[in-house]
Chains A and B, each alone.
Chain A
């Protein structure tokens, strides 16, 4: 018997299983340009880091590897800084580092947030009360201040990974909140009740019933977390509290400020990292704006 009249729109992910997926992708692009453009930008930035090493020697991202203080030329397309770094190499190396911090911190923050949010939202009761209380307290603490304090005290031991963890330490409360409220909504859905009535245990409900439906929200929260953690990490780096030996974008800006690049007109030093950061944020923002479309599917019911 033929497919019945249009009822609900199936979840986007499921639709990819059906034939005509390229048509689906094309049509999706028309419907959700934000997401696609955002993805293109972020992927392009990642590509720069992948292909870059073929065009420039990445060792020149370290100090004293090139002639210092050079404006852009054929030899150094983005010029060099006062410490002798080839800025093109710096971009090629720094971009993935900054993204890495963001993704790592975002992932850690999200994971903690998901575990806490699911527990608080689904289990309710005292678990919820305790977790929510902790979340609320941590949220009222001025984040940057804490980060600065932590970073300043371990200054010499900071590597890219450590920075990511430092930032992640304050990245989990928001995801916890968002996920918790999402779980509170989903908890009342009919299929959860039906699952309970079919004898499914609580952990199984959380894992197999809630989690798949949370995926869009988790993805959206992840993107938001990445944006926030990149911002926080750059904030720390610009103050000089980042990894001293790695040319992340934030550290590059720090050195640029430190050496008065702005006053000295060395625009090739401070401008490229800023542009890269802006592009990164725009890309991430567009992705999260596009995620909104998935997270709030407009379900049509035929009348």
Chain B
């Protein structure tokens, strides 16, 4: 990968986010622990973050969007700490880092027609010199995500289906031509037959419009389909990361293996496989152990002692697991070293 003079669009440096733990509230929940990630400025990339509930992926999304402050560590936009952005910088940040949320119901104000979610950013960011041009822009953008303006505009949210609403949201994210879109479970509340279409639009945003994507999901299958690189989160730490081909096809972390084995394949001849969860049977873990130690079928004494660092077992993969302790260790901040770039589109 050629070294890039421009700072990364988004960077997380040793970010830890903990909730609770105040004077009277001794129980502290660490949503994300010492997490680092770099999304380069160029070329436009698609990074998938996979985690189940409790993995910290929602917190991750909110940190990237500047909705919460890290307990320690920094979140940087264009090289500047998000918490320290001035007014101008903040406005730029709001525009360049767009979001698609999970719930296609909640993101609409029921009082306004859906046109409003498209008109508002155009007007606020002054993207069109006239009403006519604004209308054109909106229609073009809707068409770019596969919607027909005459069927979508002028309607209230309750008159559109969940899939249509979500696609309008994709259009909204696109219309400001951001540099990166954070998509937090964009298709999990959408019907299966529409998912493929929406995911295709997201990939199109990346390939045709050069927008980077951070695709956050619990669904390993769509992460594999959409992402070039993947980070598997478990209880706030990175279990495994690298190119999707490596991590999903040949997982090395017992948790990733468990995940891959538990995905129900749409093929009756391909049943669930692999080892089952070993919770309850594994040794007692403590706060310093590997996050997965109490469920792992292969726990060793060293796993209880200390949470493993990242072992780079392949040029395009790291695993946080002592089973791979032969491999060289890399620091958290170097995580993106193992990311690949997409092959040029055909």
Binding site for B on A (CB under 8 A): 1, 3-5, 7-11, 14, 189-191, 193-200, 209, 212-213, 301
Contacts and interface: CB of A to CB of B under 8 A. Distances in A.
A27 B332 CA distance: 62
Interface string B146-179: 0000010000111111101000010010001000
Contacts of A4: 159-161, 164
A122 B112 CA distance: 21
B120 A190 contact: no
B106 A195 contact: no
Contact of B103 (A1, A8, A190): A190
A193 B124 contact: no
B259 interface: no
Interface residues of B, number: 33
B161 A194 contact: no
Contacts of A194: 99, 101, 107, 117, 169, 172
Given A197-B94, A199-B125, A190 B160 contact: no
A21 to B, nearest CB: 16
B98 A197 contact: yes
B181 to A, nearest CB: 11
Nearest to A196: B94
B120 to A, nearest CB: 4
B117 A8 contact: no
Nearest to B119: A198
B172 A199 contact: no
A213 B110 contact: yes
Given A7-B158, A8-B157, A193 B67 contact: yes
B156 to A, nearest CB: 6
A190 B106 contact: yes
B110 A10 contact: yes
Contacts of B151: 1
Contacts of B161: 4-5, 7
Given A194-B117, A194-B172, A199 B158 contact: no
B124 A198 contact: yes
Top 8 nearest A-B pairs (CB, nearest first) are A199-B124, A190-B107, A190-B106, A198-B121, A191-B109, A8-B158, A212-B111, A198-B120
B115 to A, nearest CB: 13
Contacts of B158: 7-10
A209 B109 contact: yes
B124 A190 contact: no
A20 B94 CA distance: 43
Would you call the interface of chain A mostly helix, strand, loop, or mixed? loop
B279 to A, nearest CB: 33
Nearest to B104: A190
A242 B51 CA distance: 66
A301 B189 CA distance: 12
Given A4-B160, A193-B67, 10 more contacts: A7-B160, A9-B158, A14-B111, A190-B106, A191-B108, A194-B101, A197-B98, A199-B121, A209-B109, A213-B111
Interface in B202-239: none
B13 interface: no
Contact of A213 (B94, B95, B109, B157): B109
A127 B156 CA distance: 35
A4 B162 CA distance: 10
Most central of A4, A11, A199, A200 by chain B CB within 10 Å: A199
B327 to A, nearest CB: 41
A200 B106 contact: no
Nearest to A210: B109
A264 B89 CA distance: 80
Contacts of A209: 109
Contacts of B176: 198
B249 interface: no
7 contacts: A3-B159, A14-B111, A191-B107, A193-B101, A195-B109, A195-B120, A198-B172
Nearest to B182: A197
Contacts of B157: 8
Given A8-B158, A200-B120, A209-B109, A190 B91 contact: no
Nearest to A6: B158
A14 B158 CA distance: 11
A208 to B, nearest CB: 8
Nearest to A14: B156
A198 B120 CA distance: 6
Interface in B94-149: 94-95, 98-99, 101, 103, 105-111, 117, 120-121, 124-125
Contacts of A193: 67, 99, 101, 107
